[in-house]
Structure 1
Amino acid sequence: MKMILKRLLLALPNLIGVIIVTFVLTRALPGDPAAYFAGAAATPEAVEQVRVKLGLDRPLPEQFLHYVVDLAHGDWGSSLATGQKVTTEIAARLPASLELTLCGLLLAVSIALPLGVLAATRPNSWADHGVRVLTTMGVSLPTFFTGLLLVYIFYYKLGWAASPNGRLDAFVTSPPTVTGFYLIDSLLIGDLAVFWATLKQLILPTVTMALFVLAPLARMTRASMLGVLSSDFVRTARASGLTPGTVLYTYALRNALLPVLTTMGMVFSFLLGSNVLVEKVFAWPGIGSFAIESLVASDYAPVQGFVLSMALLYVVLNLLIDLAYTWLDPRVSLDG
């Protein structure tokens, strides 16, 4: 627990830097929120009244101090577009983004790990070259293009997939909110119809995200496995008469997972922060699409809230990765 608190304290300077940089950059963006929300027909006097009401007429240092004080009291501001608290909007939309991101990461890992192990155990074979080609194809295509292509083929042409209109079909009622994850919440109430409806909506966006991150995961698994398989302790395990499966999965794969775990953390952070394109293609009501809409409207508070929430999630993710290190290899210390 002491080491966990130490890691959290070490993350404070990063969070402070994120708050400062985000505040400055949002104010440097082109556009005037007061003019946007006053309307195109508003007079200069009306625009100035809106600016005063929003506090945008104050000097930047005073605005920043007011923002920091509000943060210290748990107030992330309000969205000018919706009129709701930013924390309320993020709490409502973040589970949708997390559910999509986690499903994409789980699918990518379930495919990348076996492919990486296969390529490492058969270096320079047709299987190895095939894995390289497959993963390179996935990372070469932009996510929005992959999503549109999957929608065109599997929804428009073949009719196999669900319509890309959000987390649920318009004729299905969302489950009562417990975790915010529709897959889990539908199972908690035993509603398999909602579960399957949610799963069908998740298939295409999940595949879209998984294809894009297959390459780094599979390549890191291959490279790490090649290094471990040539190590002395693996040779000793083989010489001791252990079965190939025991040597491969109990000894080699577990030791090779440390760099793969680091890559998974970076991939997850990337997916969570950049899945806005996938959310737009599939009309997914996540935090990324909300941030883009706020950015277009020069709505400062939601954009700042989005960046801050991503920074907090990144801190938590790094802490979980550190804990996973100690589980995979007890020789790894959180003090390091």
Structure 2
Amino acid sequence: MAGGGSSLKSYLLVRTLLVIPTIFILLTLVFVLMRVAPGNPVSAALGGHVPQAVIQEISHRLGYDRPLYQQFGSYLWNLAHGDFGATITDKRQVSDIILVNGAATLELTLAAAIVALAVGIPIGLIAGRFRDRPIDAASRIFGIIMYAMPVFVLGLLAQIVFGSWLGWLPISDQASPMTSALMTTHTNLLLVDAVIDGDWDSFWDVLQHLVLPAGTLGLVFAGVFVRLVRINVIRTLKDDYIEAARARGIREQAVVYRHAFRNALVPVITVIGLEIALLMGGAVLTETTFNWPGIGHALYTYLQNRDYAAVQGIVIVFGLVVVFASLLVDILSALIDPRMRYQ
């Protein structure tokens, strides 16, 4: 037991320490890519319609006229103190974008993840349990279609069917204008804020606006979990300990759900961390399709405006989320599956 505990501590320490060079490489790549982009970032962001003297003044204020090594040093120093800088076009603090727009993205991503897991895992389990039967074929077709479907195409179809034709759900924005004007902000998570205030009318309004974008993004990624869970259930059902459990007379249902299913979920936990990067990437398209005021929508807007200062800060946030999510998945995998500690 002592050896196992020691190996776990060593594994967690190594994985945690690896975060440091990973973050440094990420920050360096973002800095370099933003600096090698052609043209003056200030001129590009302002559209080239301002006097050169103004462009030079803003460039000097932002430090773009200093040597690259000095810019890089200031860049790292500011990030270490939580300063992500300000946008060029509207002079908005990037940290404000992270708090406000990032909260909207977090709400969307969590809801989409719940949809993906709630749909993908049961369907994958059923498909693996009843392999080569009609229900398996239907599940596989569903998984393939969802996996291959561009999120914006599914989003547009959902808007047409459930918004325009049936009129069941709103097709854009995070809440109705009246709700947005009346709600009190506590956490920038509108559902949470509505619960805190006990405002159930606003909660229902926000929830209705969340259904289509979260459902769209979640269904696309449910295809990944259908295929992954199905394959792992089939593989697990062939293991020796499953055959031994059957030989002891344990009911098939108990064999599948208590033994095979639990072990088949270990790879799913690992993939969840990898899917976070894809979920956030998908959130950019989903937020644009549904006019959802998240960080992905902000990134799209600032990219259109060629505001490299804003793009740099937002991309760093995306990268940091993925890095720490991967670390969390490594920790959870090590706690669930002891074999991971020796890899």
In the superposition, the TM-score normalised over structure 1's length comes to 0.92
Higher helix share: 2
Give how far 1:185 is off: 2.8
Q: Distance in 1 between matches of 2:205 and 2:94?
A: 29
For residues 46 and 237 of structure 2, the distance between their equivalents in structure 1, rounded to whole angstroms, comes to 66
1:134: how far off?
Answer: 1.1
Distance (whole Å) between structure 2 residues aligned to residue 249 and residue 295 of structure 1: 48
Query: Whole-Å Cα distance in 1 between the matches of residues 334 and 32 of structure 2?
Result: 38
CA contact (8 A) 1:325 1:332 kept: no
- Distance in 1 between residues matched to 2:33 and 2:232, nearest whole Å: 39
Q: 1:43 to 1:16 in 2, by over 3 A?
A: same
More displaced 10-residue stretch of structure 1: 223-232 or 188-197 = 188-197
1:43-101 C-alpha deviation (Å, 9 max, x unpaired): 33333333223322222222212211222222111112232321122111111111111
The residue identity in structure 1 corresponding to 2:95 is T
**Distance verdict in 2 for CA 1:216–1:266, change over 3 Å:** same
Instruction: Please report how far the alpha carbon of residue 241 of structure 1 lies from its aligned counterpart in structure 2 after TM superposition.
Output: 2.4
Match for residue 204 of structure 1 among 190, 212, 218: 212
Unmatched 5+ stretches in structure 2? 1-8
Alpha-carbon distance in 2 for matches of 1:50, 1:305? 18
Is the CA contact (8 Å cut-off) linking 1:90 and 1:306 kept in structure 2? Answer: yes
In the other structure, the counterpart of 1:127 is: 135
User: 1:241-283: per-residue Cα shift (whole Å, max 9, x none)?
Assistant: 2222221111111111111112222112211133111101111
The amino acid that maps onto 1:259 is P
Q: Which residue of 1 aligns with 2:53?
A: 45
User: For residues 85 and 188 of structure 1, what CA distance do their matches in structure 2 show?
Assistant: 27
CA distance in 1, matches of 2:11, 2:197: 38
Match of 1:296 among 276, 289, 304: 304
Q: Are the aligned partners of 2:129 and 2:256 in contact in 1 as well (CA < 8 Å)?
A: no
Alignment check: 8 A CA contact 1:15 1:308 kept: no
- Report the Cα distance in structure 2 between the residues aligned to 1:210 and 1:37, rounded to whole angstroms: 34
How big is the alpha-carbon RMSD for the aligned residues of Structure 1 and Structure 2? 2.1
> Aligned pair count?
334
Which residue number in structure 2 is paired with residue 228 of structure 1? Answer: 236
Task: Supply the AA of the counterpart residue of 1:169.
Answer: S
176-185 or 259-268, larger mean C-alpha shift = 176-185
Alignment gaps of 5+ in structure 1: none
Counterpart in the other structure of 1:95: 103
Residue matched to 2:6: none
The question of 1:218 aligning with 2:257 is answered: no
Once the two structures are superposed, the pairs formed by residues 72-221 of structure 1 within 5 Å of their partners are 72-164=80-172, 166-173=173-180, 175-221=183-229
Supply the AA of the counterpart residue of 1:158: L
Maintained 8 Å contact 1:32/1:298: no
1:279 aligned residue (287, 299, 307): 287
TM superposition shift of 1:183: 2.1
**Higher mean displacement: 314-323 or 193-202:** 314-323
1:42 is paired with a residue whose SS is: coil
Q: Give yes or no for contact 2:12–2:331 (8 Å, CA) kept in 1.
A: no
| Contact 2:117/2:225 (8 A) holds in 1 | yes
- Equivalent of 2:247, from 239, 243, 267? 239
1:174-218: CA deviations, max 9, x gaps?
644444322233223322212211110011101210221122211
Q: 1:117/1:275 Cα in 2 relative to 1: closer, same or farther (>3 Å)?
A: same
User: What's the counterpart of residue 316 of structure 1?
Assistant: 324
Within 5 A, what are the aligned runs for 1:48-63? 48-63=56-71
Contact kept? 1:8, 1:315, Cα under 8 Å:
no
Q: How far, CA to CA, are the matches of 1:258 and 1:231 in structure 2?
A: 15
Residues 1:327 and 1:44: Cα distance change in structure 2 (over 3 Å): closer
Q: Percent identical across equivalent pairs?
A: 33
TM-score (structure 2 length as normaliser): 0.90
How far is 1:332 from its partner?
4.0
1:219-254 Cα offsets, whole Å, 9 max, x none, are 110110011111111112222222222211111111
SS at match of 2:250: coil
SS at match of 2:178: coil
Is the contact between residue 287 and residue 297 of structure 2 (CA under 8 Å) also seen in structure 1? Answer: yes
2:273 counterpart residue number:
265
Query: Which deviates more from structure 2 when the two are superposed, residues 278-287 or residues 70-79?
Result: 70-79
Whole-Å separation in 2 of the counterparts to 1:151 and 1:288: 19
Superposed CA deviations along residues 305-331 of structure 1, whole A, max 9, x for unmatched, are 2222222212221232233324434x3
Distance 1:42 1:179 in 2: 38
